[in-house]
Amino acid sequence: MHDINELIDNVRRNEEIARKFFEIERCILSIGRCDQFVSTLTKEVQKQFSVPYVWVNLINEAPLSHLIESLEKMPDLRDRVLFTRRRSMIDIIKSSNKTVLVNTNLSQCREIIPSVYRDIISSVAISPLTIDGELVGLFCQADSDSSRYDATTKDTFLLDQLAIKISICLSNVTAREKLEYLATRDPLTGLLNRRQLELMLDREFSRSKMQERDLTVVFIDCDAFKSINDTLGHNCGDEVLEYIAKRLLKYVHKQGLAFRFAGDEFVFVMPGKSYEQAILVAESIQEYLQSNPLRYKSNLVPITISYGGASVISDSPSNYKHLLKVADERLYDYKNNRKRLVPTKVFKFLNRLR
């Protein structure tokens, strides 16, 4: 009789766990964005299983590198998602595809634990997440109770099942986000493309008018780019564009957005910033490039840029296309006025190679 009651209790417990798994899966299955996926998943696991600390580790490289920028901007996810080196994950789970339970020497897991939890937790369950058989992350559940995730007394079968379900859903989400990312980005530089520029400016121009706040756009053009291509080849030309794009992202990152417009032309947009503030950014980019030539094979390739900007307050454009037109005209005025100056440095370098 005792055995039957115990069996019935086990069945009921398993049914309850299965119900909770189903509820978690139902909540995350149709989510199309990774930030919503991480937020919903971690909160649901906390709710369904009363786990105090839940987070996701994702690798900071392909195939998930396109997610880093968007997820790191989400303040609500600061303690729920962590980007980690794949090597650090492998060091913990070894070659196993099973959940690892740790309740001693947690310092070995330090790199995969959010800093806010490091002095709080006493045990952690670490489940590998895979896409197409490749390790892409870890799903972590932790408690201040050292006995909760004790490898000597706990079986990991159910945790492994949960990790499999999470991996399937993560694969779906990242595939959708990858397609969206590719549709909005320039494939060479990784910057947002011209279509995204137009969509953003249409929205921000209306907002600027309604809120009576400034909106500034700046065109950037690489001097003597055709000559660089003709002399050193298109591979070098591509590296020049990537080099400029990286510097553009670094200087604009927290103040606005950067776009590849066409060819060797770039645009950055700064909502809420004046013409003078945006031009200072362009000048900083110009100064950096002039002082730091691109290393290409055995050559140090000098790079100079021209720029031109326009803003809603200083130029009173009728629409965003007019705003772009004014900035573009100023770029070419600037370029023509200095044709005999800075680019000479580039031409002298190229002439030595001919």
Strand pairing category for 81-84 and 123-131? unpaired
Q: Where are the alpha helices (DSSP H) in 29-96?
A: 34-49, 68-72, 86-93
- What are the backbone dihedrals phi and psi of residue 135, each rounded to the nearest 5 degrees, phi first? -65, 125
**Whether residue 202 is found in the same domain as residue 342:** yes
pLDDT at 343 over 80: no
Q: Please tell me the predicted confidence (pLDDT) of residue 104.
A: 92
Q: List CB contacts of 153: < 8 A, sequence separation 6 or more.
A: 147
Which of these ranges, 148-157, 236-245, 325-334, has the smallest mean pLDDT? Answer: 148-157
pLDDT digits (tens, 9 = 90+) for 170-205: 999 888 888 888 899 999 999 999 999 999 999 999
**Whether residue 90 is found in the same domain as residue 222:** no
Q: Please tell me the predicted confidence (pLDDT) of residue 69.
A: 66
Position 154 confidence tier, pLDDT thresholds 50, 70, 90: confident
- Stronger pLDDT, 17 or 184, i.e. the higher one: 184
**Whether residue 116 is found in the same domain as residue 211:** no
Residue 287, in any domain of the structure? yes
- Total Cβ atoms within 10 A of residue 62: 9
Q: How far apart are CA 66 and CA 146, in angstroms?
A: 36
Degrees to nearest 5, angle at CA 158 with 153 and 160: 100
Q: Which residues are 54's β-sheet partners?
A: 141
Residue 313, in any domain of the structure? yes
Where does 122-262 show beta strands of DSSP type E? 123-131, 134-143, 215-222, 257-262
Q: Please tell me the predicted confidence (pLDDT) of residue 215.
A: 96
Q: How far apart are CA 25 and CA 162, in angstroms?
A: 9
Choose one of 135, 162, 184: the last residue of a domain. Answer: 184
Position 238 confidence tier, pLDDT thresholds 50, 70, 90: very high
Residue 189, in any domain of the structure? no
Q: How far apart are CA 86 and CA 61, in angstroms?
A: 8
**Whether residue 36 is found in the same domain as residue 177:** yes
What DSSP designation does 75 have? G
Distance of CA 175 to the CA centre of its chain: 15
Q: How far apart are CA 36 and CA 169, in angstroms?
A: 12
Choose one of 184, 215, 249: the last residue of a domain. Answer: 184
| CATH code of residue 67 | 3.30.450.40
pTM higher than 0.75: no
pLDDT average, residue stretch 273-284: 96
For 164, the token pair is 């499999």
**Whether residue 201 is found in the same domain as residue 180:** no
Choose one of 184, 209, 241: the last residue of a domain. Answer: 184
**Whether residue 228 is found in the same domain as residue 296:** yes
Residue 226, in any domain of the structure? yes
pLDDT digits (tens, 9 = 90+) for 105-144: 999 899 999 999 999 999 999 999 999 889 999 999 999 9
Short-list 100, 44, 42, CA closest to 71: 42
**Whether residue 160 is found in the same domain as residue 199:** no
pLDDT at 268 over 70: yes
Q: Please tell me the predicted confidence (pLDDT) of residue 96.
A: 78
**Whether residue 210 is found in the same domain as residue 301:** yes
pLDDT at 320 over 70: yes
Residue 317, in any domain of the structure? yes
pLDDT at 353 over 70: no
Q: How far apart are CA 169 and CA 163, in angstroms?
A: 10
**What is the layout of strands, in order, in the sheet containing 265-271?**
257-262, 265-271, 215-222, 305-311
Preceding amide of 63 cis, omega within 30: yes
| Range of the structural domain that residue 318 is part of | 194-353
Domain total for the chain?
A: 2
**Whether residue 56 is found in the same domain as residue 129:** yes
Q: List CB contacts of 156: < 8 A, sequence separation 6 or more.
A: 98, 99, 100, 101, 125, 127
Average pLDDT over the chain, rounded to whole? 89
Q: 73 by DSSP, 3-state: which? A: coil
Residue 98, in any domain of the structure? yes
Q: How far apart are CA 255 and CA 249, in angstroms?
A: 10
Contact 20, 48 (CB under 8 A): yes
Degrees to nearest 5, angle at CA 238 with 188 and 228: 155
**Whether residue 241 is found in the same domain as residue 117:** no
| CATH code of residue 259 | 3.30.70.270
**Whether residue 215 is found in the same domain as residue 171:** no
- Total Cβ atoms within 10 A of residue 27: 18
**Whether residue 110 is found in the same domain as residue 166:** yes
